[in-house]
Each structure stands twice: as structure tokens, then as C-alpha cells.
């Protein structure tokens, strides 16, 4: 069998897996934003009926996967594999959500890039001939993230102008080995890039170099240019990180006029007071599984390059003076198998 890897980082899916179902569940604030109509379920409050924020996050993730399975017309028992991750210590958002579901389970940690990591692994697994159905589900929750990464909400801490707002949301995908699309045709797996940024309130700046690195690798490996896509979508660089990405690419001679960022789309910057935009695993995942995949199904876009970014640090690493390693995975999604 000849290798299906091209260049240094890109897997080409010989038999592209198809999005059979995708769904999202978000919190109240997200449901008041500009993408409200693209969410499958908007919580009335962010507890999801649970007694702790961590349990709320698991409940949200469970619901998102259940909705995606419904749309795919499959019971959970038909899933060959589940790939899941979140931002919490030891990824408990995912493990408690998957408990009792009886699906062979792969736990992932890719920070806010986790939907990209999961789509890469799930599509390579199905394309490799292992099983028929794979689930990917990720989440983030504003309240559990604030408590863990910053301060408990009750402290009422001030936020810096470069800060982003962790999205309360979960996105889930059910991929099928065969189906009518949209398809995952290529995945470019990111390397860890760290340019020395140490400000944990400026994640956009920490992640932009990783996005630049993965995009350049994707174009190099595939021979494509930005024009081969209707849209190139980053995860949660926010307004500052997006500016930096475009500037970094320009310096390397790449013009990208078709860029969008999930972190800038999910909230209204004028009215929702989120500073540089949304962030969290749930940000890119809920925007992909609603706005973008629904838009592709409606004929609005044919080819999208989905590039969620993650910051692979921790509060402990920051306390120890470490800089922030970034990563970005690029997932090429097309309405046509042969593209």
C-alpha cells in the first residue's frame, strides 16, 4: 500500500469520510449572539440542571453528542470509536460525559484545537478501514474554565483588553466511512510552535504563529493556495490574533482575503463585551457544527479549510515563567469527494 501522507504534515484521505451528523449545544450568552439561529440547543441558564460547573459541562457534551447521533440516525451503540476532549484538568468534561455510553473511547488533549485533532484522528481511522462510524465531541464552559484557569467567578476579576471569553458550548460530529458529504479530504496535523509569548491573557498572539505554520505547511504539502477555498476558518485567534496571522502570512508572501475566525463570529463585539472574541474548544466546535457545516449543506460554501488553534500551556507552566506553546490543525472539508 502506498503511503497516503504528502509532504511533512498532511494526510490525504483516499476515501474521504462524510459528515453524517453534527450538532451543538451552547450557553445563554452564546444564544444571544449573532449565530443564535445556528445552534441546536441554547441553555436557559448555564447549569444544565447540574450542581457544579464541571458536571454542567459534561451534561452539555453528552447532549451535543446525542443530538449529532440523532441527526445521523444512529444509536450510540453503532459508534465504532469516540474521540473526545475538553479544557478541564484530566479532561473530566469528556470522561464523565462518555461514562455509561459504552463506546470505545480515545481521550484527547489539544486545548482549543481539539475538534481539529479529533476530526484528523477520526477521519484517518475510518479511511484506514477501521469501522464505519466515529464520533468526535469537545466542549468548554465559561464558568469551569474561569475557576480553573483564572479565578472563581465570585472574585469578580478584571479582564485585560487582549483577553478572550471562553465559550460555553459543545460541538459534536458523527463521521461515516460512506455518505453524501460534506467530506473531509485532507488533514494537516500541526507541530508545536512557541514564539516566546508569556501573556496568558493574550492567547491570540500565542496561537497565531502556530496557525501560520500549519497553513503554510498545508499549502506546501498539497500545492494549494488560499484561493482553493471559499473560506479559511481559524478557531479562536480573536481579533488581535487574526490580525497577527494575516500579517505573518503577508510577510511570507501569502495573501489571504478569505479568512474568518470562529472567535470573532460567535459574539457581537459591540454589545457582548468579550474584548478580543470567543475562545475554548467549544468555540470553533459549535461554530463548525452549526454555521459552517449547515452553510455547506445549504450550498453557501463548497470548500472550507477549518483550522482550530490551541494553547498547550497550563496555569502551573505560566507560574513557572514558561511561554505558551501553540498548535493548529487544518481540516479540508469539501462538498465534493474528489476535491
Q: At what angle do helices 53-72 and 142-149 cross, to 10 degrees?
A: 140
Of 38 and 56, which CB lies nearer to a copy of itself in the complex structure?
56
Among 71, 150, 159, 191, the residue binding a copy of itself under the rule CB under 8 A is: 191
Total binding residues toward a copy of itself, as defined by CB under 8 A: 67
Does 194 sit near a copy of itself (CB under 8 A)? yes
Cα–Cα nearest to 24, from 315, 278, 206: 278
- The span from the CA of 122 to the CA of 335, in Å, is 18
Site for a copy of itself in 263-322 (CB under 8 A): 312-317, 320, 322
Of 41 and 96, which CB lies nearer to a copy of itself in the complex structure?
96
- The span from the CA of 295 to the CA of 277, in Å, is 22
Does 131 sit near a copy of itself (CB under 8 A)? yes
In the complex, the smallest distance separating the C-beta of residue 298 from a copy of itself, rounded to whole angstroms, is: 32
138 and 85 in contact (C-beta within 8 Å)?
A: yes
In the complex, the smallest distance separating the C-beta of residue 273 from a copy of itself, rounded to whole angstroms, is: 27
Of 223 and 321, which CB lies nearer to a copy of itself in the complex structure?
321
In the complex, the smallest distance separating the C-beta of residue 88 from a copy of itself, rounded to whole angstroms, is: 7
> Looking only at Cα atoms, what is the longest distance across the chain?
58
Site for a copy of itself in 100-129 (CB under 8 A): 100-111, 117, 120-121, 124-125, 127-129
In the complex, the smallest distance separating the C-beta of residue 74 from a copy of itself, rounded to whole angstroms, is: 15
Residue 117 neighbours by CB under 8 Å, 6+ apart: 83, 85, 108, 110, 329
Among 16, 17, 190, 308, the residue binding a copy of itself under the rule CB under 8 A is: 190
Residue 321 C-alpha cell reads as: 515563567
Q: What is the pairing mode between strands 278-279 and 326-328?
A: unpaired
- Beta-sheet strands, E only, within the chain: 5-6, 10-12, 18-26, 41-42, 81-86, 105-108, 133-140, 165-166, 169-176, 183-188, 231-234, 259-261, 278-279, 303-307, 309-311, 326-328, 330-334
Residue 131 neighbours by CB under 8 Å, 6+ apart: 80, 81, 125, 177
Does 189 sit near a copy of itself (CB under 8 A)? yes
Residue 90 neighbours by CB under 8 Å, 6+ apart: none
CB atoms within 10 A of CB 314: 16
Q: At what angle do helices 238-251 and 203-222 cross, to 10 degrees?
A: 40
Of 293 and 332, which CB lies nearer to a copy of itself in the complex structure?
332
Letters for 67-96 (x = contact with a copy of itself by CB under 8 A, - = none) are: -------------xx---x-xxxxxx--xx
Among 160, 192, 198, 273, the residue binding a copy of itself under the rule CB under 8 A is: 192
Of 200 and 296, which CB lies nearer to a copy of itself in the complex structure?
200
In the complex, the smallest distance separating the C-beta of residue 73 from a copy of itself, rounded to whole angstroms, is: 19
In the complex, the smallest distance separating the C-beta of residue 327 from a copy of itself, rounded to whole angstroms, is: 6
Q: Work out the end-to-end distance of the chain between its first and last CA atoms, rounded to an integer number of angstroms.
A: 22
Of 273 and 315, which CB lies nearer to a copy of itself in the complex structure?
315
Does 226 sit near a copy of itself (CB under 8 A)? no
In the complex, the smallest distance separating the C-beta of residue 46 from a copy of itself, rounded to whole angstroms, is: 17
243 burial type by CB count under 10 A (0-12 exposed, 13-18 middle, 19+ buried): middle
Letters for 229-248 (x = contact with a copy of itself by CB under 8 A, - = none) are: --------------------
Interacting residue ranges for a copy of itself, rule: CB under 8 A: 1-5, 8-9, 11, 14-15, 51-52, 54-55, 80-81, 85, 87-92, 95-96, 98-111, 117, 120-121, 124-125, 127-132, 148, 177, 189-192, 194, 312-317, 320, 322, 325, 327
Amino acid at each position: 500500500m502506498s503511503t497516503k501522507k504528502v509532504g511533512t504534515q498532511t494526510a490525504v484521505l483516499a476515501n474521504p469520510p462524510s459528515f453524517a451528523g453534527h450538532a451543538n449545544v451552547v450557553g445563554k450568552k452564546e444564544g444571544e449572539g449573532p449565530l443564535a439561529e445556528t445552534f441546536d440547543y441554547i441553555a436557559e441558564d448555564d447549569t444544565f440542571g447540574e450542581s457544579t460547573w464541571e458536571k454542567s459541562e459534561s451534561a452539555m457534551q453528552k447532549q451535543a453528542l446525542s443530538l449529532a447521533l440523532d441527526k445521523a440516525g444512529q444509536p450510540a451503540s453503532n459508534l465504532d470509536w469516540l474521540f473526545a476532549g475538553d479544557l478541564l484538568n484530566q479532561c473530566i468534561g469528556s470522561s464523565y460525559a462518555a461514562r455509561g455510553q459504552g463506546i470505545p473511547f480515545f481521550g484527547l488533549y489539544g486545548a482549543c484545537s481539539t475538534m481539529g485533532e479529533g476530526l484528523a484522528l477520526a477521519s484517518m481511522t475510518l479511511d484506514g478501514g477501521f469501522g464505519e462510524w466515529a464520533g468526535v465531541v469537545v466542549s468548554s464552559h465559561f464558568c469551569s474554565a474561569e475557576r480553573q484557569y483564572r479565578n472563581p467567578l465570585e472574585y469578580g476579576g478584571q479582564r485585560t483588553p487582549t483577553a478572550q471569553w471562553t465559550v460555553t458550548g459543545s460541538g459534536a460530529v458523527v463521521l461515516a466511512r460512506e455518505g453524501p458529504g460534506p467530506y473531509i479530504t485532507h488533514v494537516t496535523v500541526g507541530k508545536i510552535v512557541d514564539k516566546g509569548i508569556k501573556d496568558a491573557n493574550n492567547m491570540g498572539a500565542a496561537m497565531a504563529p502556530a496557525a501560520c505554520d500549519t497553513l503554510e505547511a498545508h499549502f506546501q504539502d498539497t500545492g494549494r493556495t488560499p484561493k482553493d477555498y471559499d473560506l479559511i476558518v481559524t478557531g479562536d485567534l480573536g481579533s488581535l490574533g487574526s490580525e497577527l496571522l494575516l500579517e505573518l502570512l503577508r510577510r511570507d508572501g501569502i495573501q489571504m482575503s478569505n479568512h474568518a475566525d470562529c472567535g470573532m463570529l460567535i459574539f457581537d463585539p459591540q454589545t457582548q463585551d468579550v474584548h478580543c472574541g470567543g475562545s475554548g474548544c467549544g468555540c470553533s466546535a459549535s461554530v463548525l457544527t452549526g454555521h459552517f457545516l449547515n452553510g455547506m449543506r445549504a450550498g453557501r460554501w463548497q470548500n472550507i479549510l477549518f483550522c482550530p488553534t490551541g494553547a498547550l500551556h497550563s496555569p502551573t507552566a505560566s507560574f513557572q515563567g514558561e511561554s505558551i506553546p501553540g498548535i493548529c490543525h487544518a481540516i479540508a472539508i469539501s462538498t465534493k469527494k474528489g476535491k
